[in-house]
Amino acid sequence: MANILSGLAATPLLMAATLAGAAETPAAKTVLVIHAGAGVERATMLPGEEKSARAALEAALRAGHAALAAGKPALDAVSAAIVVLEDAPEFNAGRGAVFTHDGKNELDAAIMDGATRRAGAIAGVQRIRNPIALARAVMEKSPHVMMTGAGAEAFAASIGMTFVDPSYFHTEKRWKQLQKALRAEKDGKAQVDVETAKHFGTVGAVALDAKGRLAAGTSTGGMTNKRYGRVGDSPIIGAGTYANARCAVSGTGWGEFYIRAVAAYDICARVEYAGQSAREAGEAVINREIPKAGGDGGAIVLTSDGNFALPFNTEGMYRGWIGADGVPHVAIYEEDELAEP
Ligand code: ASP
């Protein structure tokens, strides 16, 4: 399934464009780029799911854009967009999170402020409706960067965060995916098991605000049938999420490979130290380094000049962007054209 070069060859999928007329008005340069996972599977798409996924992507873009248009920081745009995606059952984050081996949902998320390099992350929470909000609270209301499991939930309670019953995260599609993965495991089909576990629906956002500040955030249910407290790349700063003054990245894909490649940081390091564009750096890491190591997935990359790229090497990646004009652009499959700025 993974066509390594697919995200490379088709230029609309790997865009790098500078927004025209930048900096004439305070909001002229703002841009928000989102993804909702590189695990697009046409064969398993339920009737109406494509339409509702597109609607959710557009709603997320509008929510983030509203923050940017109001002059709010990139962090607010990232949080607002991700909350919408977490609430949408189509994606593997928040409400639509995949199931663990034990039939639970364990959620991971991270957020990073490029201007200050402050970051917050949580892993393995089971009762937080919007994990991205808790990750942000870790950053803003604690001296720490990362909290896990029961400790993260105790912190959430201490700051008055609303909890949901774990059944909130039960969706039929994800439950069936777990049953399939468990059957494959029982039959000893290890390779099939890995394939059936790869429902990359992680959501993420990167934004550039009117003051030129960048931010990145990512939220996920991880991988189907995960166990032993497995944590993927999404909440790990530098692996699935990273932002500094020049570059912001959110990834989606086979987390173990993103962790080993320190993928998000490597992309930003290439931008910062090698002078690569968003497109060059994204292409090098996502479509060359990760597949070379045996992994797959995608990412969104945004640089402080307003250039962005959305590389991936799977059948599709839920993705979109919105500029200062407030018109959302979304795409799902590899062959879908995504308008350029
Ligand atoms: N990267 C996520 C993980 O490995 C999965 C995904 O992108 O959906 O946890």
First vs last Cα of the chain: how many Å apart?
30
Task: Categorize the per-residue pLDDT at 196 as very low, low, confident or very high, splitting at 50, 70 and 90.
Answer: low
Cα angle value 219/220/222 (rounded, 5°)? 150
Type and span of the H or E element at 88: none
Q: Is 253 in the pocket of ligand 1 (CB under 6 A)?
A: yes
| pLDDT tens by residue, 119-170 | 999 999 999 999 999 999 999 999 999 999 999 999 999 999 989 999 999 9
The span from the CA of 59 to the CA of 129, in Å, is 18
Looking only at the bridges linking them, the beta strands covering 118-125 and 146-148 are parallel
The span from the CA of 339 to the CA of 177, in Å, is 33
Q: Where are the domains of the chain?
A: 33-333
| pLDDT tens by residue, 50-79 | 999 999 999 999 999 999 999 999 999 999
Residue 18 in this model has a pLDDT that exceeds 70? no
> Structure pTM?
0.90
Query: How close is the Cα of 109 to the center of ligand 1, in Å?
Result: 11
Closest alpha carbon to 174 in 2, 298, 39, 3 = 39
Query: How close is the Cα of 257 to the center of ligand 1, in Å?
Result: 10
Residue 5 in this model has a pLDDT that exceeds 50? no
Task: Categorize the per-residue pLDDT at 17 as very low, low, confident or very high, splitting at 50, 70 and 90.
Answer: very low
Task: Categorize the per-residue pLDDT at 190 as very low, low, confident or very high, splitting at 50, 70 and 90.
Answer: low
Task: Categorize the per-residue pLDDT at 334 as very low, low, confident or very high, splitting at 50, 70 and 90.
Answer: very high
Cα angle value 189/193/198 (rounded, 5°)? 155
- Region 196-213: what's the mean pLDDT? 87
Residue 236 in this model has a pLDDT that exceeds 60? yes
Residue 235 DSSP SS3 = coil
Residue in 30, 196, 202, 314 annotated catalytic:
202
Closest alpha carbon to 312 in 301, 296, 332, 329 = 296
Instruction: Report the DSSP beta bridge partners of residue 321.
Output: 33, 329
Q: What percent of the chain shows pLDDT beyond 90?
A: 79
Q: Is 298 in the pocket of ligand 1 (CB under 6 A)?
A: no
Cα angle value 113/124/241 (rounded, 5°)? 25
Determine the pLDDT at residue 45.
80
Q: How far is CA 271 from the centre of its chain?
A: 20
| pLDDT tens by residue, 95-107 | 999 999 999 999 9
Q: Domain 33-333's class?
A: alpha beta
Q: Best substitution site from 200, 226, 249, 290 to test ligand 1's pocket, by max atoms within 8 Å of Cβ?
A: 200
The span from the CA of 56 to the CA of 233, in Å, is 24
